[in-house]
């Protein structure tokens, strides 16, 4: 039966990896994802998994080893953060373009400089167009559940793309929280045995990986890759429905928290959603029509579904925990695109928060809703882009 445990987010991920029992885990530790591979290495040492655990000299080598193991026909997993992901940059694109269903937990952390080890989303948002499916996690439970669902999503024959499971560094990775850990046999039965395709070790059916692809076919391969990403949206929905039927916890492409009749909505990603929900509940008790839309699937991005969910909203503020220098925030850009074709578009604006781990308090969230109310009364947004809780003008 299911067990309720008090565990860190990193511990929950490593336990999920143990239950999945991948064939290969290449690893190079980096704060704040280190506990994931440390704990998993203990599972390997204690013969609790059948995994080949490979320690390498850099994160670039981690993803290179992941790709090699995957094309050889193995189920492959790893974890990283921040500069570790950045050092994988070239190989991220290769893993996705080769359609390898690698699973990687990304513990979100700011990218330097200056050096910073705390949470923001500059790492995953920098990789948003690398061709990886990206699932974001509000808390320990969602991170664990996303990880359990990830192999089923990645390995679907009409998808075959790598998956990045994202969670906030320290806030989720290092804090203790009560959550449900499922029985090993239920997780194993849910995921199923790995069915590799076109293994480079299959000498009876030889294949070539990493071949030169010039103007003759390159754009056709990119179009096929894009089709796979579009297919991933239904795959996420299907696997999430199956997960609900087995484990009783429901997930969709995004969570609509009290948005059905909401006039003012905040849109955000990851752990800040918990604080926003508290404020939403407080204001709902005062009869204010407020809500939260929390993104789970950033790639593929659910444009039409979000537009439908927000069709009755009057004003939206999108919170980005990363910069897109010289442009609006990456989440804001996607949300604004999703709303473009609406006949009666809501007012919308963008706020950057929490870079390098800067706190966003409940008071700040109250202020955001007050600002939205002011704009709503005026009938226009006076400042589309700004920062929250930052010194200077």
Token digits of residue 310 = 């927000």
Q: Using pLDDT thresholds of 50, 70 and 90, give the confidence band for residue 393.
A: low
Query: What pLDDT shows up at residue 392?
Result: 86
pLDDT tens profile 50-82 = 999 999 999 999 999 999 999 999 999 999 999
Q: Using pLDDT thresholds of 50, 70 and 90, give the confidence band for residue 293.
A: very high
Query: What pLDDT shows up at residue 4?
Result: 97
Query: What pLDDT shows up at residue 338?
Result: 98
> Average pLDDT over the chain, rounded to whole?
97
Q: In whole angstroms, what is the distance from residue 16 CA to residue 182 CA? A: 9
Q: Using pLDDT thresholds of 50, 70 and 90, give the confidence band for residue 2.
A: confident
Q: In whole angstroms, what is the distance from residue 95 CA to residue 102 CA? A: 8
Instruction: For residue 90, count other CB atoms closer than 10 A to its CB.
Output: 12
211 vs 127, more confident? 127
Query: What pLDDT shows up at residue 301?
Result: 98
Query: What pLDDT shows up at residue 248?
Result: 98
pLDDT tens profile 93-152 = 999 999 999 999 999 999 999 999 999 999 999 999 999 999 999 999 999 999 999 999
| Range 188-208 average pLDDT | 94
Q: In whole angstroms, what is the distance from residue 123 CA to residue 113 CA? A: 13
Q: Which domains does the chain have, with CATH numbers?
A: 3-247 (3.40.50.970), 254-387 (3.40.50.920)
Share of the chain above pLDDT 90, in %: 98
If you count DSSP H runs as helices and E runs as strands, how many of each does the chain have, helices first? Answer: 13, 15
Q: Three-state SS for 290?
A: strand
Query: What pLDDT shows up at residue 38?
Result: 98
Instruction: Tell me: pLDDT of 28 over 90.
Output: yes
Instruction: Tell me: pLDDT of 49 over 70.
Output: yes
pLDDT tens profile 213-256 = 999 999 999 999 999 999 999 999 999 999 999 999 999 999 99
DSSP-assigned letters across all residues of 158-215: TT---EEEEEETTTTTTSEEEEEE--HHHHHHHH------S-TT-TTS----S----T
| Range 356-379 average pLDDT | 98
């Amino acid at each position: 039966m299911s067990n309720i445990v008090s565990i860190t987010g990193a511990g929950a991920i490593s336990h999920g990896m143990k239950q999945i029992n991948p064939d290969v885990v290449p690893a190079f530790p980096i704060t704040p994802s280190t506990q994931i591979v440390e704990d998993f290495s203990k599972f390997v040492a204690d013969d609790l998994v059948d995994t080949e655990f490979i320690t390498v000299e850099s994160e670039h080598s981690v993803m290179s080893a992941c790709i090699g193991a995957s094309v050889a026909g193995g189920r492959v997993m790893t974890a990283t953060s921040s500069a570790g992901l950045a050092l994988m940059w070239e190989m991220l694109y290769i893993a996705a373009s080769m359609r390898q269903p690698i699973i990687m937990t990304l513990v979100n952390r700011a990218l330097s400089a200056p050096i910073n080890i705390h949470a923001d989303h500059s790492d995953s948002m920098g990789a948003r167009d690398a061709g990886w499916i990206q699932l974001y996690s509000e808390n320990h439970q969602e991170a664990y559940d996303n990880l359990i669902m990830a192999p089923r999503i990645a390995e679907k024959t009409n998808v075959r793309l790598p998956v990045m499971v994202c969670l906030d560094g320290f806030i989720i990775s290092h804090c203790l929280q009560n959550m449900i850990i499922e029985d090993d046999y239920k997780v194993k039965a849910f995921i199923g045995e790995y069915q590799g395709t076109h293994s480079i070790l299959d000498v009876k059916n030889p294949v070539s990986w990493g071949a030169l692809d010039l103007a003759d076919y390159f754009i056709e391969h990119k179009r096929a890759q894009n089709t796979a990403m579009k297919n991933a949206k239904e795959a996420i929905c299907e696997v999430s429905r199956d997960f609900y039927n087995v484990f009783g916890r429901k997930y969709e492409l995004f969570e609509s928290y009290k948005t059905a009749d909401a006039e003012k909505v905040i849109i955000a990603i990851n752990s800040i959603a918990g604080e926003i929900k508290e404020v939403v509940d407080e204001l709902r008790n005062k009869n204010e029509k407020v809500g939260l839309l929390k993104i789970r699937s950033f790639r593929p991005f659910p444009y039409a579904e979000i537009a439908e969910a927000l069709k009755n909203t009057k004003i939206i503020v999108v919170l980005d925990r990363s910069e897109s220098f010289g442009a609006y925030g990456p989440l804001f850009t996607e949300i604004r695109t999703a709303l473009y074709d609406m006949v009666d578009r809501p007012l919308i604006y963008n706020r950057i928060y929490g870079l390098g781990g800067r706190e966003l308090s409940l008071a700040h969230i109250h202020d955001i809703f007050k600002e939205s109310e002011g704009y709503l009364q005026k009938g226009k947004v006076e400042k589309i882009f700004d920062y929250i809780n930052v010194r200077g003008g």
